[in-house]
């Protein structure tokens, strides 16, 4: 199957990508003090130089006291962090690439003791108390408005430093997804109950981001059926329900849906070979990004624990067939690009034998 489909330009409004290859957002924890440094700048620059059309940064925390859940994760607020990101933007643009930050709030995943303020508990849709201590603060309506304002400000800042859009992280059991998911959202107000109500927080947040950046500035929304807390979880069970879930998000201002799955080749619903990105494109009419073990023969979960397993480069034939059939528009590559910054160049040049395998050791350094 010809690889040229991966290297055709993509246009959406003001967003013009030289290729269909997207760097998936991957938390790296190499930004001490929340500030991306010279190593982070070079990390992203190398991918843009080697044919990645769109870089979606690792998750960057918005300016809310409970947004962070991990050490050395970059911030997207404050003069120092935004200054660091401006250098990343300039380096990527100099290589002809495009870049958007993934705006992130971890919600109830946060644990007491986490930087920058160790005394702040997780924030989530519903309160959680353990041994008499509040470990998750149930968000008030004022908290909700504060978080929405933080996302809007981050988007405004992204626009001001020259980013090419923003991605809102609404997947994987983090804050926005915690509102979606019935298992974590037990609220009885207008933000709880039906899935339509549980989507209200995301809809209002997207609307605020759109108002902050105006029309024409691309908003990507990442969502998933699975959660870190439950890999078998499903928000919706049918295509009809998926359409009912996604339409309000699209109407609120989403331009591109980033449809997170663990294996891109798996059908989302019985009776069709379409994956989540394929169904989302069909149901919303919006461009979609597919993702999930692209270019590797082993999916990421087996590398979440100490292991000597190695994921070898895998055939792209099925992926290219789906892309050529317009099932989705863009392809996000994660671990294959993490370990091999020249992955896209090697694929384009037919040098598959030179592509590096992925092992857990690759997580320990930035290359």
Radius of gyration of the chain (CA): 19
Q: Are 174 and 107 in contact (CB under 8 A)?
A: yes
Q: Are 323 and 264 in contact (CB under 8 A)?
A: no
DSSP 111-138: -TT-SS-TT--EEESS-EEETTEEEEEE
Q: Is 103 exposed, middle or buried (0-12, 13-18, 19+ CB in 10 A)?
A: buried
The Cα–Cα gap between 111 and 68 comes to 9
Which residue in the list 43, 77, 174, 191 is annotated as catalytic? 174
Active site residue 174: yes
3-state secondary structure 152-215: HHHHHHHHHCCCCCEEEECCECCHHHHHHCCCCCCCCCCCCCCHHHHCHHHHHHHHHHHHHHCC
C-alpha closest to that of 106 among 94, 122, 118: 122
The Cα–Cα gap between 15 and 161 comes to 16
> How many CB atoms are closer than 10 A to CB 354?
13
For the four alpha carbons of 17, 19, 21 and 27, in that order, the dihedral sign comes to negative
Please give the positions annotated as active site. 174
């Amino acid at each position: 199957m010809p690889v040229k489909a991966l290297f055709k330009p993509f246009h959406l409004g003001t967003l013009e990508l030289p290729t269909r290859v997207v760097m998936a957002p991957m938390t790296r924890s190499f930004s001490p003090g929340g500030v991306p440094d010279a190593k982070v700048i070079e990390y992203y620059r190398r991918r843009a130089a080697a044919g990645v059309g769109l870089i979606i940064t690792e998750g960057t925390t918005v300016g809310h006291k409970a947004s962070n859940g991990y050490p050395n994760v970059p911030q997207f607020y404050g003069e120092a962090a935004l200054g660091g990101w401006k250098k990343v933007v300039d380096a990527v643009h100099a290589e002809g690439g495009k870049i958007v930050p993934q705006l992130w709030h971890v919600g109830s995943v946060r644990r007491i003791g986490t930087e920058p303020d160790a005394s702040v508990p997780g924030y989530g849709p519903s309160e959680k108390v353990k041994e008499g201590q509040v470990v998750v603060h149930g968000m008030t309506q004022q908290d909700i408005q504060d978080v929405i304002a933080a996302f809007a400000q981050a988007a405004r800042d992204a626009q001001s430093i020259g980013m090419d859009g923003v991605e809102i992280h609404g997947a994987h059991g983090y804050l926005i997804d915690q509102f979606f998911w019935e298992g974590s959202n037990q609220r009885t107000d207008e933000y709880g109950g039906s899935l339509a109500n549980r989507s209200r927080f995301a809809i209002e947040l997207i609307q605020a981001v759109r108002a902050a950046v105006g029309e024409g500035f691309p908003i990507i929304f990442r969502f998933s059926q699975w959660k870190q807390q439950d890999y078998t979880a499903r928000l919706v069970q049918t295509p009809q329900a998926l359409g009912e879930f996604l339409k309000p998000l699209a109407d609120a201002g989403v331009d591109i849906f980033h449809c997170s799955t663990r294996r891109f080749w798996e059908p989302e619903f019985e009776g069709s070979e379409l994956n989540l990105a394929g169904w989302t494109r069909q149901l919303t009419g919006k461009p979609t990004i597919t993702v999930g073990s692209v270019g590797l023969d082993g999916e990421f979960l087996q590398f979440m624990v100490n292991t000597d397993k190695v994921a070898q480069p895998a055939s792209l034939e099925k992926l290219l067939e789906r892309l050529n059939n317009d099932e989705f528009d863009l392809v996000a590559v994660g671990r294959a690009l993490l370990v091999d910054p020249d992955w896209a160049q090697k694929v384009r040049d037919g040098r598959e034998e030179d592509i590096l395998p992925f092992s857990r050791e690759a997580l320990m350094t930035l290359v």
